[in-house]
Amino acid sequence: MTDYKQYIAEKIVIEGVSTEEIKSYLEIPPTPEVGDYALPCFRFSRVLRKPPVQIALELKEKFVCDDVVSAVEAVNGYLNFRLDRLSFALGAVKNVLAAGENYGNSDEGAGKTVCIDYSSINIAKPFHIGHLSTTVIGAALYRIYKALGYNAVGINHLGDYGTQFGKLIYAVKHWGDIETVRKKGLSELTRLYVYYHEQAELHPEMDDEARAYFKAIENCDKECTELFEFFKSVTLEETQKIYGLLDVTFDSYAGESFYNDKMAPVVEELEKDGLLVESQGAKVVDLSAYDMPPCIILRSDGASLYATRDLAAALYRKKTYDFYKCLYVVAYQQNLHFKQIFKVLELMGKPWYKDMVHVSYGMVSLEDGAMSTRKGKVVLLADVIDKTIEKALEVINAKNPDLENKEQTAKDVGTGAVIFGALANGKIKDIVFSYDKVLNFDGETGPYCQYTVARCNSVISKGEGVVDEGAGTVKEISPEEFNLAVLLADLPHVIKEAAEKYEPSFVTRYAVDVAKAFNKFYFGYKIVSEDAAVTKFRLDLTKATRICLKKSLSLLGIKTPERM
């Protein structure tokens, strides 16, 4: 498989700059008229102490064109390269077809482990739309790292620790019963949780009893522990249905309670290192020298906090997995929390603190404000998925009522629309949830990309047996065919960049670009023509498109129905 960026980079010599660095700067121009690859020469101004325009002109004079790179041009500080288009397109299609479903995979991560902490739902609370981003971003990164040969470890750091469980025990004992919870599941637990908070506003003394129940859980009281485990089983049973629809899996469900007996050693190590100081009765790590508030390790009553458990979890994960990187897919509201955690690990002398990464993302809110489980103000993710599946079935019944397996197709399309919508833009962007947007099946959406795969299937099916392997080689190609081939060749780079930037939306954007390019080609040219060589190339181009679209969508967790 020809790596064109590598090929071009190796032909450029810049003193003080490595081939790999040059390769990393090569990019695809916004319009094909400019060229097929471009090198922004401002990157080298500091090293060479020259203006970008001069650097580009000097590099152009030294560059020797050949049968791979047919032309090079210096324009406004950029060095633009034009490939031999026919040779490039034939090679790109050949590479994709040869690799098949493994196209874009690599072994760059062999022997390295990446831990990814994502989803991290709260026990006894509903799986709502606010959990969508962390779940699908984390799952996409998990698949992307797997494709690059890393040993990816998906961790669902369950929120299964805290006074809220004492509140639920209080609520079940006073206003509920186990059988109703068993029958109604999370909806009943949510009702009880909301009702508790309504009553606690009138009777604040209830919180003291709730804290006592949680303390009983910590002390392994039989009745309270059994209730806690029951809440956990009810939650996981319901959430597994959603994880199944989203094609999300985990290798570990070690939640906060798992680290209950692993926090004391962390506190001891902090004290031994002289990092713990007392502040208003609490024990904290002073971070004022780093322009951060203190990291509270133990409250004045001796209780642990998120920071205590996250430090214990970090130490456990390093010891257990010896990770190359440890990612936390958590909303940007927790930026300070993770800065504190990583700084404390640094102060503890852990050199691997630099391998910890907070993959932050924007928050999801309703059109009329933020969500709150306590007030019962949430949009359940299950309801969103159900509505998109229902909408997908309506579209299928209107446009293709005789479609086989239309219920399963509607499920794949509806679920895909939800995932694609969450990954369509850069992860840091806030999302105001709107059914109208999620249920929109027009434009640059998941269903559009899925339908393009189905269109490829139809073209390939109709073209079977039309030409044989001896049809010869096409002599020229159209701009639309070349542009599509360039995109197909870029998938390995897109996957790698998505991993480096922790940004699955690169793959989402890629899928849309490929779908648009293929449809432009599809509507502009007759794929099965009188010329056998042309037909063979166009069918191969269609097969390669299908491979790249299916691969990119599968990395996002989106299935591709055969027909739509």
Closest listed residue to residue 440, CA positions, set 423, 424, 421, 454: 421
What order do you get walking across the sheet with 151-155 strand by strand? 151-155, 113-117, 325-329, 356-359
pLDDT at 425: 87
Closest listed residue to residue 297, CA positions, set 258, 330, 337: 337
CB 273 within 8 A of CB 347: yes
Closest listed residue to residue 17, CA positions, set 48, 60, 56: 48
Cα–Cα distance between 204 and 1 in angstroms, integer? 68
pLDDT surpassing 60 at residue 374: no
Strand partners, 75: 78
Burial 501-528 (b: 16+ CB within 10 A, else e): ebbbbbbbbbbbbbbbbbbebbeeeebe
| Domain assignment present for 114 | no
pLDDT confidence band for 371 (50 / 70 / 90): low
Cα–Cα distance between 106 and 237 in angstroms, integer? 36
pLDDT surpassing 80 at residue 473: yes
Cα–Cα distance between 516 and 121 in angstroms, integer? 36
Q: Which amino acid is at 464?
A: E
| Domain assignment present for 190 | yes
| Domain assignment present for 75 | yes
| Domain assignment present for 93 | no
Identify the helix (H) or strand (E) that includes residue 151: strand 151-155
Instruction: Count other C-beta atoms under 10 Å from residue 412's C-beta.
Output: 23
CATH of the domain at 55: 3.30.1360.70
Q: Which is more confidently placed, 176 or 504?
A: 504
Boundary of a domain, candidates 65, 83, 101: 83
| Domain assignment present for 409 | no
pLDDT surpassing 70 at residue 178: yes
Q: Give the Å distances, CA to CA, from 338 to 80, 198, 327, 433.
A: 42, 32, 11, 26
| Domain assignment present for 359 | no
CB 518 within 8 A of CB 510: no
pLDDT confidence band for 375 (50 / 70 / 90): low
Mean pLDDT, rounded, for 504-532 = 95
Cα–Cα distance between 163 and 15 in angstroms, integer? 62
Mean pLDDT, rounded, for 17-46 = 92
Residue carrying structure tokens 């509607």? 410
CB 263 within 8 A of CB 310: no
pLDDT surpassing 70 at residue 372: no
- Which of 6-20, 333-347, 353-367, 432-446 has the weakest average pLDDT? 432-446
Q: Which of 364-368, 389-393, 466-470 has the highest mean predicted lDDT (pLDDT)?
A: 389-393
pLDDT at 31: 84
| Domain assignment present for 12 | yes
Boundary of a domain, candidates 67, 83, 99: 83
- Which of 40-54, 78-92, 180-194, 430-444 has the weakest average pLDDT? 430-444
Task: Look up the pTM and report it.
Answer: 0.89
Q: Domain limits at 75?
A: 4-83
Percent of the chain with pLDDT over 90: 74
Boundary of a domain, candidates 39, 67, 83: 83
pLDDT at 332: 94
Domains identified in the chain, total number: 2
| Domain assignment present for 450 | no
